[in-house]
Amino acid sequence: MNSEPLLVSYPASAPLRGELRPPGDKSISHRAVIFGALARGVSEIHHLLEGEDVLRTVAAFRAMGVDARRDDAGVWRIAGVGRDGLSEPRDVLDMGNSGTGIRLLTGLLAGQPFFSVLTGDDSLRRRPMGRVVGPLTRMGACILGRDGGRCAPLAVQGKELIGIPYVSPVASAQVKTALLLAGLYAAGETAITEPALSRDHTERMLTAFGGEVGQDGLTVSVRGGIELRGVTMHVPGDISSAAFPMVAALLVPGSEVTLTGVGINPTRTGLLDLLREMGGRIDIGNERLEGGEPVADLTVFHSPLKGIRVPPDVVPRAIDEFPVFALAAACADGETLVTGAEELRVKESDRIAAIAKGLAVQGADIEELPDGMRIRGRPEGLPGGGVADAFQDHRVAMTLMVAGLAARAPVTVTGRANVETSFPGFAARMAGLGARIESHG
Ligand code: S3P
């Protein structure tokens, strides 16, 4: 395990200052590649996230006959093959670390007239796939996998599908999108009802590509047979990546950092609400629309934070941000309580356990709960100095690196940090703000 390089993050010796444009949104980038591939005509995608997860999705479509190229200016052109234009991949599709990639493609492939196999890395092969395989099977899909179809590798024999109404027990955009993608190839209507609204990028993007999506409260629906048209699209900056410099600026005394072009879709801004409620000063300016999504520049100032009780209804709107939120809470004055967040246990790692262990090693007072955590803040800051395992989880690794910037002694991260999954060049980009994060070994 320790043959992997160690990452070391050093306490900031000066305030963090400057501007950072976060990389393209991961969720939106996956969807831009998928809908670009299925549309008729060429789609031109600007600011696509070139992280490993999205590049796996690009590779999967190339393996199904789609021409996707990046020009020297970083613009991607995807030559869409039309709704019936994909061809059978000759090899296993390896989705790497990406839950979004594997679940969305399982939905899409269920209705294709060919056979395919999807797999991923150790972390992905441990994650639950039954949540998509179950409802897809009810639509007529033929999917086999390990553990009775609950884990990858998944073998998909494409079938004629029938639209169903499905009431999902989890607020999951991956489940919703997998079923909507299958629904594009199913007879009749496919309708998904969620317990709370999960991110709605698929609905927005399907509309931008000329598709029709029905929306009625927490139910979204599509009809089979829709043809999509290629578009030009600008991917907003990922608020889930912006979260790391955001919390770093809040915690390092004297800091003022502007994050430009950040997506502020209301289904994604839970962290902003929580940090502001804790007393964080985050100014929102220059609001605009890009690719059907709201975008803004966020200026973040160092602020003393106080502990809060996280309302469970905010959880789906901040689900990917809890690792770094836990760090903010660990440095706040008073207690913070997170509940209703059991989904964190089935992310790239068990994020409740991984973050509780990782931050405790740096001196945080943090208690695991079955569905969240109780954090007693240390407003004087964390001692740091510990060596913590990232458990192959990019967001755990980046949280620990931000912890190092705000701690009194360096923080070391082991265990396949996988940072390139979502934030290529994280250390160098943070260095532009004055941070020091190094890779050793
Ligand atoms: C995503 C949905 C969320 C999120 C993940 C990306 C998506 O997962 O945690 O990082 O792009 O649809 P769930 O659908 O499992 O909640």
Tell me the domains of the chain and their CATH numbers.
6-24+236-440 (3.65.10.10), 26-234 (3.65.10.10)
- Between the alpha carbon of residue 253 and those of residues 300, 380, 401, 431, 433, the distances in Å are 12, 11, 17, 17, 13
Dist. CA 421 → ligand 1 center (Å): 14
Enumerate residues lining ligand 1, CB below 6 A.
27, 100, 172-174, 177, 198-199, 319-320, 343
The reported pLDDT for the residue numbered 3 is: 62
Ligand 1 atom 11, closest CA? 27
The reported pLDDT for the residue numbered 259 is: 98
Ligand 1 atom 9, closest CA? 320
- Tally of residues, the chain: 441
- Between the alpha carbon of residue 313 and those of residues 44, 198, 339, 368, 381, the distances in Å are 36, 11, 10, 20, 29
The reported pLDDT for the residue numbered 418 is: 86
Dist. CA 314 → ligand 1 center (Å): 15
Taking the CA of residue 104 as reference, the ligand 1 atom at the shortest distance is 12
Q: Please give the full DSSP string across 389-411, using - where no structure is assigned.
A: E-TT-HHHHHHHHHHHHHSSB-E
Among the options 320, 350, 389, 393, which is catalytic? 320
Q: In the chain, how many H helices and how many E strands? A: 14, 25
Dist. CA 176 → ligand 1 center (Å): 10
What is the SS3 assignment for 327? helix
- How far the first Cα of the chain sits from its last, in Å, is 12
The reported pLDDT for the residue numbered 1 is: 42
- Between the alpha carbon of residue 106 and those of residues 144, 169, 327, 336, 347, the distances in Å are 11, 19, 34, 38, 18
Dist. CA 103 → ligand 1 center (Å): 10
Closest Cα to residue 183, out of 215, 216, 222, 210?
Answer: 222
Taking the CA of residue 172 as reference, the ligand 1 atom at the shortest distance is 14
Return the bridge partners of 417, or none.
Answer: none
What is the SS3 assignment for 373? strand
Dist. CA 199 → ligand 1 center (Å): 8
Residue range 24-71, pLDDT digits in tens: 999 999 999 999 999 999 999 999 999 999 999 999 999 999 999 999
Residue range 79-123, pLDDT digits in tens: 999 999 999 999 999 999 999 999 999 999 999 999 999 999 999
- Residue among 27, 34, 100, 395 to mutate when testing ligand 1 (max atoms within 8 A of CB): 100
Taking the CA of residue 26 as reference, the ligand 1 atom at the shortest distance is 11
Quickly tell me which residue has 């999506």 as its tokens: 213
Strand 67-70 with 40-46, pairing? unpaired
Residue 200 known to be catalytic: no
Copy the structure tokens of residue 341.
């967040």
Ligand 1 atom 5, closest CA? 100
The reported pLDDT for the residue numbered 60 is: 98
Residues of the chain with pLDDT below 50 are 1-2
- Cβ atoms < 10 Å from Cβ of 185: 26
Contacts of 26 (CB under 8 A, 6+ apart): 49, 51, 53, 54, 100, 238, 240, 241, 422
Distance CA 231, CA 76 (A): 12
Taking the CA of residue 170 as reference, the ligand 1 atom at the shortest distance is 16
